[in-house]
Structure 1
Amino acid sequence: MRTTRTVPARPVLFTALAVTTAGSLLLTPQTAVADPEPPVHREAALDRHAARTPASAAQRALGSTEDASRAVGDDSRGYPRRQVLTPDPENPADKSIKLGLTPYHAIAPRLNALQALGDRVSVEIAGRSAGGHRLYLVTVTSPETTRQGRAQARMRELIENAPALAAKSPEVKKAYKAPVFVNNNIHGNEWEGTDASLKLIERLATAKDDKTRDLLAHSRLYFNITANPDGRIAGTRANANGFDMNRDFVTASQPEVRAMRQIMTTKQPAVMLDLHGYVNGTLIEPTTPPHGENYEYDLFLKNSYANALGMEAAVNGLGYTPAKDGVEPAQIPFRDQEEGWDDWPPIFTPQYAAFHGTVAAHTVEIPLQVNNRAYDTLPVTELRRRSAINVDVAGAALRATLDFVRSRRTSLVADQIEVFRRGAAGAAQVPVSPETVPGVPGTGPEDVYTTKFPRAYVLPPSGTATARLVDHLLANDVRVARASHAFQLGGKSYAKGSYVVDMHQPKRGLANALLADGRDISDKVSVMYDISGWSLGRLWGAAVETLPGLPYGVLRPVRAAAPVAYVAPRGDLRLRLADPSEIAALNSLLRKGVQARRAADGSAIVSGSARRQATEAARTYDVSFHATKITGTTPLHRTRVAAAVTPGELFALREMNFEVTPVSTGVLNAGFDWSSVDVLFVSAGLEYGDLTTGARTALDAFLDGHGLVGRGATGAAIGSATGLLAAKPVEGNADANGVVRVVNSADALMSGAPDHGFVYAPVWFTDLGPRVRVEQSYATGNPLVSGHWRPSQDGSGGPVDAAGQASVISGPRAVLFGTEPLFRDHPKGEFAQVGRALFTMALASGSGKESG
């Protein structure tokens, strides 16, 4: 169910190749080496392309073990593809068992048995969870020879890459198998979709009726059996990294989300279901406004509403009643609600799928709660009764969807082709109206959300932030080109090597969703379900501009961003510290005992005598060390952080290579060894008033000689309670979130920081004490660029109240953030602000608490 509020990618490695005539050291790609805990830096740029690389002859053998698994996406070998899954150790603590559902350790044997039932079921390993568990992708379809598999792959490519031709292809119309994707259990304590899918797969594996034969002859059905095995086992919503993965699709920070992304980019589903719980009665999307403005929403709504009606009829047709079973009739938010369940941000699985050509996509919330308090308090018999009903309801939704696909395959594929055709042709979106979506009652102006796509975007030719963003676009199946020569457009000059995103491409909607500023929708709806602004163009630290056209003859497609890694061949070295990878690189050097000093502009100066270690860091983190004559004044040291923070912030701190020890009120009350850390970072889970006398004394003693970094109201409260910073935190509307304009100081903490930030429940600071510095302020006027930020009911707490007010402040031994610079591992361009603050506060010493 939605609520309102890992194994990271391998680092790109480089090896020294040569010294140019200009004397600069070149670093060129080499094969990455396995790392048990590698930091997250640039994405694996070749996710999609590697997935489509044909497997070796040995791997193509049917009946292979999972050790010979291929990357998900190579469908050219046909089906079935049997492989024997090794069993997992039995785990009696698996939370599924109490509900009478399938524990994770029983899934592999079950899938082995399903493959043995006939020639319709195949299993692949789609990846591993943050906790190391296998992610199983099951394909159900009628058998295909290698030749037939290649034909399907060719038609799938034609649909995306040449949609105008695909629309006219008799072969596509007659023979293309409509892809359907069923995603289960992305929230680990919403279990039953997994069991409903396993039951359905078993029936499909052996059914002899004509409808099943026809369905499998004209469709491929893909089942992600459990998207969150960590949470399934532990009974938690989040994965082992503490992430709600149904909020992660813009960033794809989690391995499970990257696996789902790969499924969607390579399988290209026309229809998908994401099975959740628990809303009574069963909630079936499509949603209320606001609707994602980058979709071809007319095609999406037409198909999603029609399928929702079928699912509703099937669920209600099971015969469960409120009086007898506690089950309310199904509901469709688009029809039955005014607002509050929207499809605005692409952080949710179905909304993200829509950008890959899915024209009917649904969150389905099954009815009876069995998680959280219910799990701990209800009798086992009642829990199992509820779970059985939930499995039945999920099964009804699945069967209705397959009936929908079987009866509408041709039109579904045609509409998917039309999504890609509009993108490739640069065609205008079609606004929703009674005329454009006949059969969908109640459409009106409140449902019209469209945008004007730019002709193209351009990014600079170099830089760690640029490379990260380019690789991220490529991993999301967005096409990127690079200029082989300098060019001019619209009176501006652009350097050789500039990256260009041509917006006449099949997945322009996703490209725009990631790169555009977004929109301020504060006046459109009174409430928002989750984040409403997320622009990577503003938040990832790369300069992204629009182009009025395309340069002629200079663009070449790329499969990965060019390497950034560079080390000057002589002199001392400067590392900017404006990017999380640069912070990570510095931390790796400090851990190895390399001496570094902080310059006045906040950058790090490394002695030329450490060039070998700098070269290693440049290889690992894909960063640049430039020659400098600046001499740093303040020594930088290895920084160990005690962190009372959210899971996303903890993940981001470790991404920057800080040594982090999680703390909380409970940890401090139990007795914490403060000698093991150098600085305290607080944003959640630590309340000064709830500490014991001994814990307060120990905390005060630590902060008497060390520094504090705080975020939000909780961090500010610690700063105030300990007397470190005299300032009054003002909390804005708690539901407010989005991208904001900010004004940075030129001092070391914020030098070079982006002029945009991210807020969720924004905070600003007033009544500043005499030694408090304003490091950053919200811009004047209305600082909100995109998102949803209204005043509270009493008229206060809106963006106009925050305008011009301090958003980040500092004192001798504290830095407080009113923004969310590490939110869900998302606003990458802001991470370095926190990194610099931690370095600064780790150096803080002496007394001198603020007064008044």
Structure 2
Amino acid sequence: MGQSQISYNKLEALLKMKSENNPHMELIPIGESTKGRVIWCLTIHKQDQLKRKTPVLLTASLHGNESTGTSALLRFIEKMEEENELSFGLLEDLIIYCIVCCNPDGYQEKTRFNGEGFDLNRDFLTQSQPETASIVKLIVEKKPVVVLDLHGYVSKSTSFIGLIEPSGPPHNSSYEYDLFVRWALPLAEHIESCLVSKQDEFSLEGFKNHKGTCIPYRDGTRGWDDFSPITCTNYSMLHGSIGVTLETPSKTEDGVEWHFQSIIAALQFSAKHHKKLAENLTKFYDRGINRHHPTHPSSHFPRYFVLTEKKELHSSFYSLTQHLVKNGITTYMTEEEFTDGHTTYPKGSVIVPMNQSLCNLAYCFLSKGENASSSKEKISEFCSWSLPLHSGVNCYTIFHSIHVKVKLVEKELTQEGMPLEFITGVDHDVKKIGILVDEGLFHKKAHAGLKMALKEMEIPFIELKAKDLLSGESLSPIDILIYNGYEHLFYTPSDIRSTYEELVLNSRQQQEMCQQTIQSFLKTGGKIIGIGAGAAKALTTTLKVSPVKVHTSGWNENALLNIHYEESNLTLGYDKDDLGFVYRPAWFSNVENMNVIASYSKDPESLLCGYWPSFEKAQGAPAIVTNKTGNLILFGLEICFRGHTKYFYRLLWNAICL
């Protein structure tokens, strides 16, 4: 039996009623979703002027279709309404922050993503979405010692159900992992022990007879790592929190109970060890302030990062500076030019000192990152995260003391909302844009990053589904069609899992009709831009607009790397040897009748950071190609990925406008 789920309006009303009727509960709005729904934080605490309480954060429904966490938190709140032994025991030492639903739009629509199609639990690095920014603001302000993020649905075996972090290797080198795991592992094992002892509370046989849970750090589960800082708990670890994701086994009432019992167990553990947990967080801060990192090489952390503008990209420079400040990172701006070694830094450079409590977070944001391609373990997600490289900002490291006049950066000094410099001077209004969208293949909206990029560049567009191309007239209102998504959008039901049948075409005949529409559009002067492996494969294999052969690497493989750009209108604004980004990397062959606009470097050292074990297959191969008339452009690169890759938006602008 599946769990029941109330509407978001009813959820809000319920939270308001509970907070109004209980002196220990306070409901505060912390932000809004993309569609304007309020995100609420319910604080549960007992006022005691003589005692400082230890903060703990509980989050649920970052993925809107994983609502068991929200139901479990409601059950927990009901339990805390009673003046019982549990509530007295927990509130004596803890202050508990509950974001009962982090993704109101996804929760209401029963989708994994938010109202703009973004997976919020992949957004904690750039915080491009308002929901994520709201949670980050709370973490920065409240400094929780423990963060529990409730998800579903995972069972690695019939006997060991659900999953509780800490994760397996590789671990992000920005973490103070010894401080984290000394508490995260005992916490996970305590939760597991309590779940086993509560078997009588469950109804289904799988829950009543389980022997434990999966704890990846202990059990060696492959493909579940904490290398990337893009999730809620992995981000919180960079603040020194014991961040733990809990994956309930199923979307059933027992799945809700599993989360509920896990919450109780985790909070009891936190209350019992609250002083030592607080001391652990203080040790994390002290390591940063005193530049004492016993598990890191002495050369790991520089004394300073220095940021300067690259190619007069003012908006990128100020946006990154503001991002640092919003995340609680102490940041200064120079009031004079200064020289260090052979490098002269202009007035207005940004300096980030690394003798600060959040130096680990600053290092993760600003360092080049790591090339994990030789890792024996598979990396499960996005891991080439350097914000300066993705933003188009120069970033330097200094390993000794410097003396320069500076001022502390305040938020109002960072010029938020500055226009992207490269979008001026071209009248794009005459170009009518259409983009191909999907409604959730593989629980994602792959075109979400494209939509965000177009909106930031103020380029209007209309949305088209694959089935819209069945009509030969469907493309008549537009001049340019852009496709950034999976090739599966043009599959038929026999080619794809039944879960996604409604999102694809109905038959081979419909494939042929779409093929005719696309080919006719191209022949009559329309422009088609395909971004990434999926679009390139669909356009060449299913829709047959070009004989180009598309080669792809693994689904989650990704990297920042050096790219060789040819001189052309498409590459205006980039150096001959500049940066590129790949996610599910793609490269091309059979390009004799095409123009090669960019190629992967032949130098194996050109892969700067990320995870691309088979990079040697693509070395020297074309990365961007066009047909001879220039109205078909295929990018093997990802140029508008999840709001990360703003340095590469100019490639999209050039492709549209020039």
Paired AA for residue 168 in structure 2 = T
Paired AA for residue 282 in structure 2 = I
Cα pair distance change 1:452/1:246, threshold 3 Å? same
Unmatched 5+ stretches in structure 1: 1-96, 149-173, 371-385, 432-448, 567-578, 592-636, 791-797, 841-852
Instruction: Map Cα deviations across residues 71-125 of structure 1 (whole Å, 9 max, x no partner).
Output: xxxxxxxxxxxxxxxxxxxxxxxxxx97323332211221222123331000011
Distance apart, 1:176 and its partner CA: 2.3
Cα pair distance change 1:715/1:214, threshold 3 Å? closer
When the two structures are superposed, what TM-score results if normalisation uses the length of structure 2? 0.87
Q: Corresponding residue for 1:618?
A: none
Distance apart, 1:751 and its partner CA: 2.8
Q: Is the 8 A contact 1:467 1:561 kept in 2?
A: no
Distance apart, 1:732 and its partner CA: 2.5
Paired AA for residue 818 in structure 1 = G
The DSSP-based 3-state class of the residue aligned with 1:272 is strand
Q: Corresponding residue for 2:13?
A: 109
Instruction: Map Cα deviations across residues 715-757 of structure 1 (whole Å, 9 max, x no partner).
Output: 3345546676553322233442122221222322213337222
Distance apart, 1:357 and its partner CA: 2.5
Distance apart, 1:308 and its partner CA: 0.7
Cα pair distance change 1:327/1:183, threshold 3 Å? farther
Q: Corresponding residue for 1:63?
A: none
Distance apart, 1:208 and its partner CA: 3.8
Q: Quote the Cα distance in structure 1 between the aligned partners of 2:452 and 2:382.
A: 19
Cα pair distance change 1:789/1:717, threshold 3 Å? closer
Paired AA for residue 344 in structure 1 = F
730-739 or 417-426: which moved more? Answer: 730-739
Cα pair distance change 1:527/1:218, threshold 3 Å? same
Q: Is the 8 A contact 1:181 1:223 kept in 2?
A: yes
Tell me whether 1:290 sits opposite 2:170 in the alignment: yes
Instruction: Map Cα deviations across residues 159-205 of structure 1 (whole Å, 9 max, x no partner).
Output: xxxxxxxxxxxxxxx83211100001111111111121122122223
Paired AA for residue 76 in structure 2 = L
Q: Corresponding residue for 1:427?
A: 292
Matches within 5 A, 1:245-284: 245-280=120-155, 281-284=161-164
Paired AA for residue 748 in structure 1 = N
Matches within 5 A, 1:17-36: none
Paired AA for residue 803 in structure 1 = Q
Q: Is the 8 A contact 2:587 2:623 kept in 1?
A: yes
Paired AA for residue 248 in structure 1 = D
Paired AA for residue 247 in structure 1 = R
The DSSP-based 3-state class of the residue aligned with 1:405 is helix
Q: Corresponding residue for 1:414?
A: 279
Tell me whether 1:341 sits opposite 2:217 in the alignment: no
Q: Is the 8 A contact 1:580 1:831 kept in 2?
A: no
Q: Quote the Cα distance in structure 2 between the aligned partners of 1:564 and 1:776.
A: 35
Q: Quote the Cα distance in structure 2 between the aligned partners of 1:307 and 1:245.
A: 25
Tell me whether 1:733 sits opposite 2:554 in the alignment: yes
Q: Quote the Cα distance in structure 2 between the aligned partners of 1:460 and 1:108.
A: 45
Q: Is the 8 A contact 1:289 1:525 kept in 2?
A: no
Q: Quote the Cα distance in structure 1 between the aligned partners of 2:414 and 2:148.
A: 39
Q: Quote the Cα distance in structure 1 between the aligned partners of 2:216 and 2:248.
A: 14
Instruction: Map Cα deviations across residues 669-701 of structure 1 (whole Å, 9 max, x no partner).
Output: 256532321101123355397645554433323
Q: Corresponding residue for 1:640?
A: 433
Q: Is the 8 A contact 2:204 2:254 kept in 1?
A: no
Paired AA for residue 799 in structure 1 = F
Tell me whether 1:220 sits opposite 2:95 in the alignment: yes
Matches within 5 A, 1:747-758: 747-753=568-574, 755-758=578-581
Q: Corresponding residue for 1:495?
A: 346
Q: Is the 8 A contact 1:719 1:814 kept in 2?
A: no
182-191 or 226-235: which moved more? Answer: 226-235
Instruction: Map Cα deviations across residues 336-372 of structure 1 (whole Å, 9 max, x no partner).
Output: 12432111111111010111221x211001112x3xx
Q: Corresponding residue for 1:128?
A: 32
Q: Quote the Cα distance in structure 1 between the aligned partners of 2:65 and 2:414.
A: 41
Tell me whether 1:363 sits opposite 2:245 in the alignment: yes
Q: Is the 8 A contact 1:485 1:497 kept in 2?
A: yes
Paired AA for residue 530 in structure 2 = G
Tell me whether 1:458 sits opposite 2:362 in the alignment: no
Distance apart, 1:265 and its partner CA: 0.7
The DSSP-based 3-state class of the residue aligned with 1:661 is strand
Matches within 5 A, 1:383-394: 386=252, 388-394=253-259
Q: Is the 8 A contact 1:482 1:557 kept in 2?
A: yes
Cα pair distance change 1:206/1:586, threshold 3 Å? farther
Q: Which of these residues, 786, 795, 813, is aligned with residue 609 of structure 2? A: 786
Matches within 5 A, 1:759-838: 759-790=582-613, 798-811=614-627, 812=629, 813-838=631-656
Cα pair distance change 1:310/1:118, threshold 3 Å? same
Paired AA for residue 292 in structure 1 = N
Q: Which of these residues, 431, 441, 455, is aligned with residue 654 of structure 1? A: 455
Paired AA for residue 122 in structure 2 = R
The DSSP-based 3-state class of the residue aligned with 1:674 is coil
Q: Quote the Cα distance in structure 2 between the aligned partners of 1:563 and 1:194.
A: 36
Q: Quote the Cα distance in structure 1 between the aligned partners of 2:260 and 2:479.
A: 54
The DSSP-based 3-state class of the residue aligned with 1:697 is helix
Distance apart, 1:585 and its partner CA: 5.2
678-687 or 411-420: which moved more? Answer: 678-687
Q: Quote the Cα distance in structure 2 between the aligned partners of 1:124 and 1:357.
A: 25
Q: Report percent identity of matched pairs.
A: 27
Q: Quote the Cα distance in structure 1 between the aligned partners of 2:394 and 2:468.
A: 42
The DSSP-based 3-state class of the residue aligned with 1:511 is helix
Q: Quote the Cα distance in structure 1 between the aligned partners of 2:536 and 2:167.
A: 37
The DSSP-based 3-state class of the residue aligned with 1:823 is coil
Q: Corresponding residue for 2:563?
A: 742
Q: Is the 8 A contact 2:154 2:163 kept in 1?
A: yes
Q: Is the 8 A contact 2:145 2:277 kept in 1?
A: yes
Q: Corresponding residue for 2:264?
A: 399
The DSSP-based 3-state class of the residue aligned with 2:420 is helix
Tell me whether 1:707 sits opposite 2:527 in the alignment: yes
The DSSP-based 3-state class of the residue aligned with 2:260 is helix
Q: Quote the Cα distance in structure 2 between the aligned partners of 1:771 and 1:200.
A: 62
Q: Is the 8 A contact 2:490 2:511 kept in 1?
A: no
Paired AA for residue 345 in structure 1 = S
Tell me whether 1:119 sits opposite 2:119 in the alignment: no
Cα pair distance change 1:735/1:192, threshold 3 Å? closer
- Bigger Rg, structure 1 or 2: 1
The DSSP-based 3-state class of the residue aligned with 1:527 is coil
Q: Quote the Cα distance in structure 1 between the aligned partners of 2:75 and 2:423.
A: 47
Distance apart, 1:787 and its partner CA: 1.5
Q: Is the 8 A contact 1:253 1:825 kept in 2?
A: yes
Cα pair distance change 1:403/1:259, threshold 3 Å? same
Q: Is the 8 A contact 1:293 1:451 kept in 2?
A: no
Cα pair distance change 1:295/1:831, threshold 3 Å? same
Instruction: Map Cα deviations across residues 511-555 of structure 1 (whole Å, 9 max, x no partner).
Output: 111111111112223311111221112111111111233431412
Cα pair distance change 1:499/1:690, threshold 3 Å? farther
Q: Corresponding residue for 2:82?
A: 206
Distance apart, 1:429 and its partner CA: 3.8
Q: Quote the Cα distance in structure 1 between the aligned partners of 2:92 and 2:423.
A: 51
Matches within 5 A, 1:205-604: 205-209=81-85, 212-280=87-155, 281-319=161-199, 320=202, 323=205, 325=207, 328=210, 329-358=212-241, 360-368=242-250, 370=251, 386=252, 388-430=253-295, 452-460=300-308, 463-560=314-411, 562=413, 581-582=420-421, 590-591=428-429
Instruction: Map Cα deviations across residues 452-509 of structure 1 (whole Å, 9 max, x no partner).
Output: 1122111116622111111111112112111111111123211111111111111111
Cα pair distance change 1:221/1:324, threshold 3 Å? closer
